[in-house]
Amino acid sequence: MKIVILSKGPANFSTKRLKEEALKRGHEVRIVNYAKCYVTLERGIPVVRYKGKNLSDVDVIIPRIASSLTKYGSAIVRQFEMQNVFTTTTSIALVRSRDKLRSMQLLAKAGVGIPKTVFARETADLEDVLEQVGGAPVIIKVARGTHGNGVVLAETRKAAKAVMQAFYVEGVNFLVQEFIEESAGTDIRAFVVNGKVVASMKRQSLDDDFRSNLHQGGQGTSIKLTDEERRTAQKAAKAMGLPVCGVDMMRSARGPLVLEVNSSPGFGIETVTGHNVGEKIIEYIEQTAKAGRRKDKIGA
């Protein structure tokens, strides 16, 4: 098949691994910098252009869209969808996954365990907002944060209120979350392909940071999930309409709680666990792409 990886960097590890595995299985692969693609719209003739040429004759795209380019990247993905190109991540699922409020709503609705979460806007009832999540300490997150940036642990009521007020003033959407103290500094990443967990790791922050993101200096080790954790990850992937994704969970006293579902999960998990995730993704494409594009049925 003719596979296009939409990625800003051919040097990026995940991109390199995907290309390697696709080539190994006999596919044609091209890495296309979606930020440099442009779309010419005219009645009835959709085209994506890149380096002065039409990007036609593409069977499959694998979007690896940076969070800073969600909007533009999703427009390029959408254009391919309109040309009936199969995508491992649909434009709608991509946009959905980049919004923490929307994600939490969908996960809660699907019956996936999440930390108790409040989102609000007006400043009047700060006390009740805090009360709802069991009082300080609380976690406050900006709705579009990533890599642990924009996640704050407010240890006291006073601090929590000050942070919320600052966000209100700046017009930043945020959510307030119960602090999962029993496993602070540790979380679990489950890599899902075709609705199944194919690799999992634990991430542990090395200093006293409560955030375990690898981008914040967290360290990953391979782990085996419990049945409940595996089911939770799979259910979360389904609720988000993401056949390929990374589900982040925390082990809490009341079972696994999903923090977020990442639509462009990194391949560092291959190095940590020794599992070939890239191959699984290419296999998934081989099994699914021929049947054509599947409609998103999430409805939100």
Ligand X SMILES: Nc1ncnc2c1ncn2[C@@H]1O[C@H](COP(=O)(O)OP(=O)(O)O)[C@@H](O)[C@H]1O
CA–CA distance, 258 with 226 (Å, rounded to integer) = 14
Which residue stretch of 13-21, 142-150, 223-231, 270-278 sits at the interface with ligand X (rule: CB under 6 A)? 142-150
Cβ burial 273-294 (10 Å sphere, 16+ → b, else e): bebbbbbbbbbbbeebbeeebe
Residue 184 interacts with which of Mg ion, ligand X, none, CB < 5 to 8 Å by class:
ligand X
Shortest distance, CB of residue 218 to ligand X, whole angstroms? 7
Verify binding: residue 70, ligand X, rule CB under 6 A: no
Residue 139 interacts with which of ligand X, Mg ion, none, CB < 5 to 8 Å by class:
ligand X
In the region spanning residues 204 to 223, those forming contacts with ligand X, defined by CB under 6 A, are 210-213
In the region spanning residues 89 to 118, those forming contacts with ligand X, defined by CB under 6 A, are 115
CA–CA distance, 294 with 46 (Å, rounded to integer) = 19
Pick one of 70, 146, 264, 273: the residue that binds ligand X (CB under 6 A): 146
Pick one of 60, 85, 180, 247: the residue that binds ligand X (CB under 6 A): 180
Verify binding: residue 240, ligand X, rule CB under 6 A: no
C-beta of 179 vs 284, nearer to ligand X: 179
CA–CA distance, 121 with 123 (Å, rounded to integer) = 6
CA–CA distance, 249 with 187 (Å, rounded to integer) = 6
At residue 280, what is the residue type?
K
CA–CA distance, 54 with 38 (Å, rounded to integer) = 10
DSSP structural state of residue 185: T
Verify binding: residue 191, ligand X, rule CB under 6 A: no
Which residue stretch of 31-39, 91-99, 175-183, 219-227 sits at the interface with ligand X (rule: CB under 6 A)? 175-183
Give the residue among 62, 94, 95 at the shortest CA–CA distance from 80. Answer: 62
Concatenated DSSP letters of 61-119: EEE---GGGHHHHHHHHHHHHHTT-EESS-HHHHHHHT-HHHHHHHHHHTT-----EEE
Shortest distance, CB of residue 153 to ligand X, whole angstroms? 7
Residue 187 interacts with which of Mg ion, ligand X, none, CB < 5 to 8 Å by class:
ligand X
Verify binding: residue 266, ligand X, rule CB under 6 A: no
What is the dihedral sign for C-alpha 254, 98, 29, 42? positive
Verify binding: residue 190, ligand X, rule CB under 6 A: no
C-beta of 137 vs 218, nearer to Mg ion: 218
Residue 212 interacts with which of ligand X, Mg ion, none, CB < 5 to 8 Å by class:
ligand X
Give the residue among 273, 76, 299, 99 at the shortest CA–CA distance from 188. Answer: 273
Verify binding: residue 175, ligand X, rule CB under 6 A: no
To the nearest 10 degrees (0 to 180), the angle between helices 100-109 and 227-239 is: 120
51: its two tokens: 């380096």
CA–CA distance, 211 with 208 (Å, rounded to integer) = 9
String of contacts with Mg ion for each residue 201-240, x by CB under 5 A: ----------------------------------------
Verify binding: residue 260, ligand X, rule CB under 6 A: yes
Verify binding: residue 147, ligand X, rule CB under 6 A: yes
Which residue stretch of 35-43, 102-110, 120-128, 139-147 sits at the interface with ligand X (rule: CB under 6 A)? 139-147
CA–CA distance, 17 with 186 (Å, rounded to integer) = 27
Which residues of the chain form contacts with ligand X (CB under 6 A)? 115, 139, 141, 145-151, 177-180, 184, 187, 210-213, 248, 259-260
Positions in the binding site for Mg ion (CB under 5 A):
248, 260
